[in-house]
């Protein structure tokens, strides 16, 4: 049996976490937490929720590429985290644009 490939799992993690962020936004949890200020005038509860989801998505995908500490593995894990963060952000931007156009 072949070991699972890391890059398809990275894309899958990005889509799942991005979908979860869109779901939480559509349900209204982000908006409900928007009124709680974590750091006054800097970041609210809604933004921190989305930020934590993006960080968890990056950590999940980086685990797929973690290895014995070789520089190539570390670079692959960093790239995987960046890809997941980009997909996660694009999903939220798409949701925001859809919400403001309607």
Mean pLDDT in residue range 8-18:
82
65 confidence band (pLDDT: 50, 70, 90): low
Average pLDDT along the chain: 77
Output the six-digit token pair for 45: 């509860």
Task: Give whole-number Cα distances, 4 to 1, 9, 24, 87, in Å.
Answer: 9, 8, 30, 21
pLDDT at 60 over 80: no
Task: Extract long-range pairs of 24-32: CB within 8 Å, 24+ residues apart.
Answer: 24/49, 24/53, 25/50, 25/92, 25/95, 26/95
Q: Are 45 and 36 in contact (CB under 8 A)?
A: yes
Instruction: Specify whether the CB–CB gap between 45 and 29 falls below 8 A.
Output: no
Residue 2 clears pLDDT 50, i.e. is over it: no
H or E element that contains 39:
strand 37-39
What is the C-alpha separation between 89 and 50, in angstroms, rounded? Answer: 9
């Amino acid at each position: 049996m072949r070991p699972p490939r890391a890059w398809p799992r990275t894309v899958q993690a990005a889509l799942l976490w991005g979908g979860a962020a869109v779901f939480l936004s559509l349900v209204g949890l982000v908006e409900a937490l928007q009124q709680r200020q974590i750091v006054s005038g800097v970041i609210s509860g809604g933004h921190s929720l989305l930020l934590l989801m993006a960080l968890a998505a990056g950590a999940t995908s980086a685990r797929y590429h973690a290895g014995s500490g070789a520089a190539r593995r570390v670079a692959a894990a960093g790239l995987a985290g960046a890809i997941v963060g980009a997909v996660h952000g694009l999903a939220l931007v798409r949701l925001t644009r859809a919400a403001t156009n309607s």
